[in-house]
């Protein structure tokens, strides 16, 4: 070990805070990135595995129309020689608080497809076929649910309760089975009420010839799809969500980078005397550069490793939220394993170390330039910083300009959108130190007038310590602006959705079949539900709806067939098209309404045509309107029930919208309706529209809960930044302060000065964060959100979010100022002076 290293280590021992904060900063930044990465990849991996488990080795799948496939098709295909084929019935069931995919299989046809039955022996399968209540789970899942072979338990299926028996346990660790329950196809048909129907037929097709032959055998409305492309399409559904999370985590790392820069430059500044002494002893500038970089590397390494550990922990927590959101919004997901890949680890390490090294470049360069003479004063550096200001302004403006150009660039690329966002943020961050300088200078007078000498000294202290105050403020401002930007975006989104819900929920009461899900065919109401409701005196009119998945050349799209009541059309808000004529066209022509996300995703507009696979074969439909709709981020096609009945053989209705007569009170009407449908053959849900609105907003808030947490974590990173910067600032100034004390300044005044200075930095950060926050929200709403989902929303800036940001900045700064302030106040001037 060199003398040099020893000198540094001794120095760090004396002042451990500095290096600890550096490490903590790196660790937090890396932790957030890794946590989000882990949560995202675990969720995706779990879903991929469960898809693989569900689809097995099938190369293709035959899928039916909205009502599923006629089950006789399977025997026909087998007789036509398609012997590597297996029928599947699937749907969602709940038990013990978890949602499972109930997979109804034909064990005799399974051998070519799904391996996980490996481990079944003897009686198990035969009982699975012959016992109507038999189901199977993997050993892991059974253990998780605390079930043993032979146990009876209750499933909740679309509001019904069914008792089943765990007939045997699959002796496999395959995590893909975690969310899957197996049953014989016959019993799955009964449990899921799918008599006569299949959800799909899995096939292994040897070549394109077989595929072509298969196509000629399929009835209209049935479609064959390559398994892989279908799985990919399913995975794509949640892609935008995952990208958005990743971007949030990168923002945290960016804030972390500022923090690292901050601590590194401080460590150089603080040791100027030491470094200058080393120069005097003959060390070259290059050696000092290497020294600082090595130190940074160590900080980066240690910080990143700690960050990895912390990230794994935070990741587990985030994973639950991601899983929840994905299950709410996209598909049922069961994740029991953290997916920690080498790639995630490497990426976290690399990001942490690279960010640290990048942040240390400036300080290292600074260290290399130190001349022995500089040891006497710090003013050269601050002069250097002063000289840097025009460059910062120039670079900042150029970056922001580039960002602005990218924003305007006509593209649908989400990544490009994020690049633009980051350029804008980075450019703005570079402008913060000059802005802070100007602010501090301009405040010197007013602060002197208000707080006297202490105020003046505080303001001067900021401008005199720019090399540290600048980056610290930038980091805090960045973090706060992120909370403002994301806050405004979420708030705008929330308001928009709330307004939309208020408008779209035209009916007073809704009656619906429980259990709508992304798998299998969605449930319908019992046939006589409508007539019973219509017979009630309180009911004026009834509209109906049925939401189904329909294949199109561009993939599966959701279609809602609406039989409107007179007021139904009022619930639509048109982005394009004419509401007055649209419903006429919907009823009488081959016309549809599409929602914004679909229009965006498929680049469709008014009067374009959309091809849908109907039970009469593929048909083209004219788009007569693009409407706002926030219920599906993949988009929704709205058709008139009359058209749906023309083209699809699916008479079921999934929900009724009930309009009460004028003057009818809601609560007694609800009771009447509940009583009317109470003894239907299957349970139905009766919900007031207000309740639906509340539940929808609950889901909305749950979806964005993870966003709030990432915001807070980012502020946490910034808080540490400002804390370390302030401590550094104050501790370095201990001599000055000691002189002040010696000249008669009281401890209280000194503490007040530190508080003022902290407050000043916080205020500056808060104020500077506002324009950036608003800019970010603008980009998030107009670019990121639009490119992710296609939703338009009204920009809704609430003063609350802005004030919260300001308070956050002030609070963080003041909290960070407490310790240095106390220290200053308590310090005895003689000691500090003696240290010289």
Partner 1 sequence: MMIRRWSVVGVTLLTVLWLMGCGEGQPDREDDTLAVSQALGGDDMEGYARAVEPREFRFPQDHVAHPEYRNEWWYVTGNLDDAEGRRFGFQITFFRFALSPTPPESESTWATNQGWMAHLAVTDVNGDRHRALERFSRGAAGLAGAELDPFRVWLDDWELGAEAGNDFPWRLVAAEGDLALDLRLEPLKDKVFQGDRGLSQKSPEPGNASYYFSMTRLDTEGTLSLGGREYSVSGLSWMDREWSTSVLGESQVGWDWFSLQLDDGHDVMVYELRLEDGGVDPLSKGLWVEPDSQHQVIPHDAFELQVLRTWTSPAGSTYPVAWRLRLLEQERDLEIRAVREDQEMDLTVRYWEGAVDVFEAGEPAGRGFVEMTAY
Contact residues for partner 1 (CB under 8 A)?
A: 71-72, 74-75, 78-81, 83, 106-112, 115, 117-122, 124-127, 129-132, 184-187, 189-190, 195-196
Q: Would you state the structure tokens that stand for residue 529, as one six-digit string?
A: 């539900």
Q: Are 228 and 52 in contact (CB under 8 A)?
A: no
CB of 85 to partner 1, least distance (A): 10
Rounded to whole angstroms, the Cα distance separating 781 from 490 reads 9
Q: Would you state the structure tokens that stand for residue 87, as one six-digit string?
A: 């029928």
Q: Would you state the structure tokens that stand for residue 770, as one six-digit string?
A: 């506002």
The secondary structure of residue 514, as a DSSP letter, is: S
Nearer to partner 1, 471 or 520 (CB): 520
- Burial (CB < 10 A; 0-12, 13-18, 19+), residue 328, is middle
What distances in angstroms separate CA 729 from CA 22, 151, 733, 825, one per listed residue? Answer: 15, 67, 6, 15
* DSSP output for 281-307: TT--HHHHHHHHHHHHHHHHHHHHHHH
CB of 623 to partner 1, least distance (A): 41
Rounded to whole angstroms, the Cα distance separating 665 from 672 reads 11
Nearer to partner 1, 189 or 238 (CB): 189
Nearer to partner 1, 157 or 814 (CB): 157
Give the residue among 650, 667, 670 at the shortest CA–CA distance from 525: 650
Nearer to partner 1, 138 or 234 (CB): 138
Nearer to partner 1, 127 or 397 (CB): 127
Nearer to partner 1, 88 or 793 (CB): 88
Nearer to partner 1, 126 or 442 (CB): 126
Backbone angles phi, psi at 602, to 5 degrees: -100, 10
Rounded to whole angstroms, the Cα distance separating 774 from 321 reads 27
What distances in angstroms separate CA 236 from CA 54, 140, 283, 326, 522, one per listed residue? Answer: 17, 28, 57, 12, 21
CB of 189 to partner 1, least distance (A): 4
Q: Would you state the structure tokens that stand for residue 9, as one six-digit string?
A: 């280590």
CB of 75 to partner 1, least distance (A): 4
CB of 78 to partner 1, least distance (A): 5
CB of 122 to partner 1, least distance (A): 6
Nearer to partner 1, 81 or 553 (CB): 81
Rounded to whole angstroms, the Cα distance separating 509 from 656 reads 8
Look at the alpha carbons of 790, 795, 799, 803 in this order and tell me if their dihedral is positive or negative.
Answer: positive
CB of 127 to partner 1, least distance (A): 8
CB of 113 to partner 1, least distance (A): 9
Other beta carbons within 10 Å of 731: 19
- Alpha helices of 589-688 — where are they, by DSSP H? 596-601, 641-647, 666-677
Nearer to partner 1, 110 or 382 (CB): 110
CB of 71 to partner 1, least distance (A): 6
Look at the alpha carbons of 356, 358, 359, 361 in this order and tell me if their dihedral is positive or negative.
Answer: positive
Look at the alpha carbons of 806, 811, 816, 821 in this order and tell me if their dihedral is positive or negative.
Answer: positive
Nearer to partner 1, 108 or 343 (CB): 108
Nearer to partner 1, 125 or 423 (CB): 125
CB of 322 to partner 1, least distance (A): 35
Nearer to partner 1, 195 or 678 (CB): 195
Nearer to partner 1, 76 or 413 (CB): 76
Sole residue written with tokens 């923090």: 259
Q: Would you state the structure tokens that stand for residue 370, as one six-digit string?
A: 């130190």
- Burial (CB < 10 A; 0-12, 13-18, 19+), residue 637, is buried
Nearer to partner 1, 52 or 732 (CB): 52
Sole residue written with tokens 């189904």: 548
CB of 223 to partner 1, least distance (A): 22
Nearer to partner 1, 189 or 263 (CB): 189
Rounded to whole angstroms, the Cα distance separating 689 from 674 reads 15
CB of 69 to partner 1, least distance (A): 13
**Which contacts of 826-829 are long-range, i.e. CB under 8 A and separated by 24 or more positions?**
826/747, 827/734, 827/737, 827/738, 827/741, 829/737, 829/738, 829/739, 829/741, 829/742
Rounded to whole angstroms, the Cα distance separating 433 from 465 reads 11
CB of 168 to partner 1, least distance (A): 11
**Separation of CA 258 from chain center:** 24
Backbone angles phi, psi at 609, to 5 degrees: -115, 150
CB of 515 to partner 1, least distance (A): 19
CB of 192 to partner 1, least distance (A): 11
Q: Coil, strand or helix: which one is 825?
A: helix
Q: Would you state the structure tokens that stand for residue 210, as one six-digit string?
A: 């077989």
Rounded to whole angstroms, the Cα distance separating 760 from 202 reads 67
CB of 46 to partner 1, least distance (A): 24
Helix-, strand-, coil-residue percentages of the chain, each rounded to 5 = 65, 15, 20
Rounded to whole angstroms, the Cα distance separating 625 from 190 reads 40
Q: Which residues pair with 595 in a beta bridge?
A: 627
CB of 502 to partner 1, least distance (A): 44
Look at the alpha carbons of 239, 242, 244, 250 in this order and tell me if their dihedral is positive or negative.
Answer: negative
Nearer to partner 1, 101 or 189 (CB): 189
> How far separated are the first and last CA of the chain, in Å rounded?
29
CB of 664 to partner 1, least distance (A): 41
Give the residue among 138, 126, 122 at the shortest CA–CA distance from 182: 138
Nearer to partner 1, 121 or 387 (CB): 121
Nearer to partner 1, 118 or 578 (CB): 118
* DSSP output for 748-761: HHHHHHHHHHHHHH
């Amino acid at each position: 070990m060199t003398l040099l290293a020893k000198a540094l280590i001794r120095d760090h021992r004396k002042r451990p805070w500095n290096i600890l904060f550096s490490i903590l900063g790196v660790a937090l930044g890396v932790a957030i990135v890794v946590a989000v990465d882990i949560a995202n990849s675990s969720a995706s991996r779990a879903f991929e595995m469960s898809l693989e488990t569900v689809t097995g080795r099938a190369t293709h799948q035959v899928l039916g129309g909205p009502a599923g496939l006629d089950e006789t098709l399977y025997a026909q295909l087998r007789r036509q020689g398609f012997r590597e084929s297996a029928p599947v019935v699937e749907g969602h069931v709940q038990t013990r608080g978890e949602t499972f995919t109930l997979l109804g299989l034909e064990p005799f046809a399974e051998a070519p497809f799904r391996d996980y039955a490996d481990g079944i022996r003897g009686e198990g399968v035969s009982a699975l076929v012959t016992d109507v209540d038999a189901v199977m789970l993997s050993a892991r899942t059974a253990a998780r649910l605390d079930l043993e072979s032979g146990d009876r338990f209750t499933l909740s299926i679309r509001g019904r309760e069914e008792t089943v028996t765990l007939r045997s346990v699959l002796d496999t660790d395959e995590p893909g089975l975690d969310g899957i329950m197996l049953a014989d196809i016959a019993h799955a048909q009964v449990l899921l009420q799918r008599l006569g129907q299949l959800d799909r037929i899995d096939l292994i097709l040897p070549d394109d010839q077989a595929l072509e032959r298969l196509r000629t055998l399929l009835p209209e409305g049935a479609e064959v799809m390559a398994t892989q492309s279908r799985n990919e399409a399913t995975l794509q559904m949640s892609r935008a969500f995952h990208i958005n999370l990743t971007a949030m985590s990168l923002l945290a790392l960016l804030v972390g980078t500022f923090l690292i820069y901050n601590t590194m430059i401080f460590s150089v500044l603080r040791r100027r005397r030491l470094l200058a002494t080393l120069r005097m002893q003959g060390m070259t500038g290059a050696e000092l550069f290497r020294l600082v970089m090595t130190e940074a590397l160590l900080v980066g390494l240690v910080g990143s490793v700690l960050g990895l550990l912390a990230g794994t922990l935070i990741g587990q927590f985030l994973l639950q939220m991601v899983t929840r959101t994905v299950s709410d919004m996209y598909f049922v997901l069961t994740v029991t394993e953290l997916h920690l890949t080498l790639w995630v680890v490497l990426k976290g390490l690399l990001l942490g170390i690279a960010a640290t090294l990048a942040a240390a470049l400036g300080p290292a360069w600074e260290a290399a330039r130190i001349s022995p003479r500089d040891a006497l004063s710090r003013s050269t550096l601050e002069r250097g910083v002063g000289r840097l200001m025009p460059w910062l302004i120039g670079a900042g403006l150029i970056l922001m300009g580039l960002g602005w150009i990218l924003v305007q660039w006509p593209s649908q690329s989400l990544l490009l959108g994020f690049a633009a966002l980051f350029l804008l943020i980075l450019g703005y961050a570079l402008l913060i130190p000059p802005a802070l300088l100007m602010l501090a200078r301009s405040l010197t007078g007013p602060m002197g007038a208000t707080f006297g000498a202490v105020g003046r000294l505080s303001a001067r202290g900021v401008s005199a310590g720019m090399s540290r105050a600048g980056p610290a403020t930038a980091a805090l401002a960045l973090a706060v602006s992120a909370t403002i930007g994301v806050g405004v975006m979420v708030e705008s989104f929330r308001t928009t959705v709330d307004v939309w819900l208020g408008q779209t929920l035209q009916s007073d009461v809704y009656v619906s079949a429980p259990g709508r899900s992304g798998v299998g065919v969605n449930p319908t109401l019992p046939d006589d539900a409508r007539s019973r409701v219509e017979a009630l005196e309180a009911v004026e009119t009834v509209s109906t709806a049925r939401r189904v998945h329909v294949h199109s050349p561009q993939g599966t799209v959701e279609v809602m067939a609406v039989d409107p009541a007179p007021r139904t059309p009022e619930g639509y808000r048109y982005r394009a098209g004419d509401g007055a004529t649209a419903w006429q066209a919907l009823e009488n022509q081959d016309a549809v309404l599409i929602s914004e996300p679909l229009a965006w995703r498929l680049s469709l507009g008014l009067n374009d045509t959309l091809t849908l696979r109907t039970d009469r074969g593929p048909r083209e439909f004219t788009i007569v309107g693009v409407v706002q709709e926030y219920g599906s981020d993949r988009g929704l096609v709205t058709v008139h029930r009359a058209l749906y009945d023309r083209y699809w053989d699916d008479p079921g209705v999934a929900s009724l919208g009930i309009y009460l007569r004028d003057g009818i009170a809601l609560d007694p009407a609800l009771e009447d309706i509940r009583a009317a449908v109470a003894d239907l053959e299957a349970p139905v849900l009766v919900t007031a529209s207000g309740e639906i609105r509340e539940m929808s907003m609950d889901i909305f808030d749950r979806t964005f809960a993870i966003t709030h947490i990432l915001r807070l974590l980012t502020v946490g990173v910034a808080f540490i930044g400002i804390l370390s910067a302030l401590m550094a600032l104050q501790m370095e100034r201990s001599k000055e302060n000691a002189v002040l004390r010696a000249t008669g300044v009281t401890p209280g005044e000194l503490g007040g000065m530190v508080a003022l200075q902290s407050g000043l930095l916080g205020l500056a950060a808060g104020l500077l964060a506002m324009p950036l926050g608003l800019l970010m929200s603008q980009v998030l709403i107009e670019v990121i959100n639009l490119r992710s989902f296609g939703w338009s929303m009204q920009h809704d800036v609430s003063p609350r979010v802005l004030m919260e940001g300001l308070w956050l900045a002030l609070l963080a700064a003041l909290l960070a100022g407490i310790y240095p302030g106390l220290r200053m106040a308590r310090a005895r001037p003689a000691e500090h002076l003696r240290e010289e």
